[in-house]
Amino acid sequence: MGGNSAEKPALLVNGKRVDGRGVEDLRSVKIVARVLNDAEGSAYIEWGKNKILAGIYGPRECIPRHDQSLYRAVVKCRYNMAPFSGAEEHGRSGPNRRSKELSKVIKEAFENVIISENFPKTEISIFVEVLQSDGGTRCAAVTAAAVALADAGIPMKDLISAVAVCKIDGQIAVDPGKEEDNFGESDMPIAFSPRTGEILLFQMDGNLTRSEVARGLELAKNAVSKIRAVQVEAIKKVYDEPKEDRFLLIG
Amino acid sequence: MADKPERISYAYVENGKTYSTVVGLFSEGKLVPLEGPYEPLPDDLIVGIISEVRFSGYSVDTNSPYVGFLSSREIRERFNMGDAIFARIVKVDEVKNMDIGDAKKLPEGRLVRVSSVKIPRIIGKKNSMVDMIRANTGCEVIAGRNGYVWITGKGDSNLAERAIRMIEAQAHTHGLTDRVAEFLKSHKKA
């Protein structure tokens, strides 16, 4: 939420945002599944200008042994920003406090969705690399990781997605970009299970009234159903257009 | 998947309705997953690789997060680390430790690792698919239920591997047998 107020742009002019969107408009979201040769499951997402790669390993032997559980698979997550991801406003690249925080909340979201009792003593590792960042990376990360987990065939209760809502110039808007994230009055990322409506990740920066939060949740729920369609499309494409190798190629 | 509680593999029941937990094909009340880790069952015939030699037996890599144990008492031969074996899963306990028996050492060859859910398609009805690969490549192909396929013999093992990869990618499609036959015939060395 940093940003120098002297540089603050007008975030909302006549109902139009900095990039021309309306308050209920999402940025463009594109997902491709099965893009990494080595990982069990993988997905690549381009959400607005965000470019994020998710890879899943597991269920595999849980190392170190003392982490393992006799009753279920342990879910691990590493969220990391690449050095060239343009993360200066968010902090330096590489593992830092923010990355550790996001690793934790993303892990906890999936812990509640993955049916881990089937795989005692193992670990399921979620790796998310942010190649380019433009606001809302944790939501894009959750969305991509869910597709990657489905690609790996890991049993889950639902395919989850996430989106953030923000308050800009007094109005609640969905899916903030980098400037809206930095100069807005509030930022609230939320992950949902669309089937049950349950919330799996819920964070907030800034100040919101209860009715603003309710409005935000409503906008987020609507947005998530659109994102879900993109996720399902990505998974279906793996089977509709089967390829023998799993490399992310251009063209 | 259903508006009432049903007992289906890979599905679970919540609030009286049944939901699938994985990407799969659902027809006639059965859900077949399209991906997923190998879940060992007793009597599965698998291809394993000896990963550790101990006094009382061997640890076997079974392409799963769980290690199998082959007791020395179960077999007559001696194995070395890295040997490939064709064996049966005798017992699986609650934490998925596997006991392996009826092990036979496989001759020198190479390992192709595929997703275990695709193995039935690679074997084919009454071994039809795997027999077709054998006939057209001159190799011996041994497919373990765990996703390890062992290719051995003096035939065209590269062609065999490519055919297996093709089946793995297209396992869910129709007309695959014909396409594989076509592929093998057109790439077969004279």
pLDDT tens digits for B116-132? 999 999 999 899 999 99
- The pLDDT of residue B26 is 81
Q: Give yes or no for residue A203 having a pLDDT over 80.
A: yes
Q: Give yes or no for residue B95 having a pLDDT over 90.
A: no
Q: Give yes or no for residue A5 having a pLDDT over 90.
A: no
Q: Do B37 and A59 touch (CB under 8 A)?
A: yes
Å between A141 CA and nearest CA of chain B: 20
Percent of chain A with pLDDT over 70: 94
Phi, psi of A112 (to 5 degrees): -85, 0
Higher pLDDT, B93 or A87: B93
B126 and B174 within one domain: yes
Q: Give yes or no for residue B147 having a pLDDT over 90.
A: yes
Å between A72 CA and nearest CA of chain B: 9
Q: Tell me the residue range of the domain where B113 lies.
A: 109-187
Please report, for residues A52, A55, B61, the alpha-carbon distance to residue A84 in angstroms, rounded to integers and kept in the order given. 12, 19, 39
Q: Do B35 and A242 touch (CB under 8 A)?
A: no
Q: Give the pLDDT band (50/70/90) at residue B100.
A: very high
Give the model confidence (pLDDT) of B10-25 as tens digits.
887 777 778 888 888 8
Tokens of B42: 């007793």
- The pLDDT of residue B190 is 57
Interface residues on B facing A, Cβ-Cβ cutoff 8 A: 10, 12, 14, 19, 21-23, 33-37, 39, 65-67, 94-96, 115, 117, 165-166, 168-170, 172-173
Q: How many CA atoms lie within 13 A of B189 on its CB side?
A: 10
d(CA B17, CA A157): 12
For residues A124 and A73, is the Cβ–Cβ distance under 8 A? yes
Q: Give the pLDDT band (50/70/90) at residue A231.
A: very high
B49 and B19 within one domain: no
Give the model confidence (pLDDT) of A30-86 as tens digits.
999 999 989 999 999 999 999 999 999 989 999 899 999 999 999 999 999 998 888
Among B20, B35, B39, the residue to mutate for chain A (most A Cβ within 10 A): B35
Cα dihedral sign, B13-B19-B24-B30: positive
- The pLDDT of residue A130 is 95
Which residue from A238, A251, A248, A193 is spatially nearest to A53, judged by alpha carbons? A248
- The pLDDT of residue A75 is 97
Task: Return the residue of A nearest to B10 by Cα.
Answer: A155
Q: Beta-carbon neighbour count of residue B146 at 10 Å?
A: 27
Cα dihedral sign, A186-A113-A38-B138: negative
In DSSP notation, B1-15 reads -BSS----TTEEEET
Give the model confidence (pLDDT) of A144-173 as tens digits.
999 999 999 999 999 999 999 999 999 999
- The pLDDT of residue A91 is 52
Task: Return the residue of A nearest to B61 by Cα.
Answer: A61
Q: Do A151 and B37 touch (CB under 8 A)?
A: no
Please report, for residues A99, A135, A137, A170, the alpha-carbon distance to residue A90 in angstroms, rounded to integers and kept in the order given. 10, 9, 11, 23
Å between A249 CA and nearest CA of chain B: 17
CATH topology of domain A18-237: Ribosomal Protein S5; domain 2 (3.30.230)
Task: Return the residue of A nearest to B67 by Cα.
Answer: A61
Domain boundaries of chain A, sorted by first residue: 18-237
Q: Do A58 and B170 touch (CB under 8 A)?
A: no
Q: Which residue has the tokens 């935000």?
A: A216
Q: Which of B105, B121, B142 is the last residue of a domain?
A: B105
Percent of chain B with pLDDT over 70: 98
For residues A221 and A242, is the Cβ–Cβ distance under 8 A? no
B183 and B135 within one domain: yes
- The pLDDT of residue B55 is 85
Q: What is the pTM of this model?
A: 0.90
The structural domain count of chain B equals 3
B131 and B181 within one domain: yes
What is the average pLDDT score of chain A?
90
d(CA B22, CA A118): 13
Q: Which residues of A are less than 8 Å from B14 in CB distance?
A: 157, 196
d(CA B157, CA B144): 17
Nearest to B95 among A41, A58, A121 (CB): A121
- The pLDDT of residue A241 is 85
Q: Give yes or no for residue A4 having a pLDDT over 70.
A: no
Q: What is the dihedral of CA A247, B26, A56, B39, to 10 degrees?
A: -120
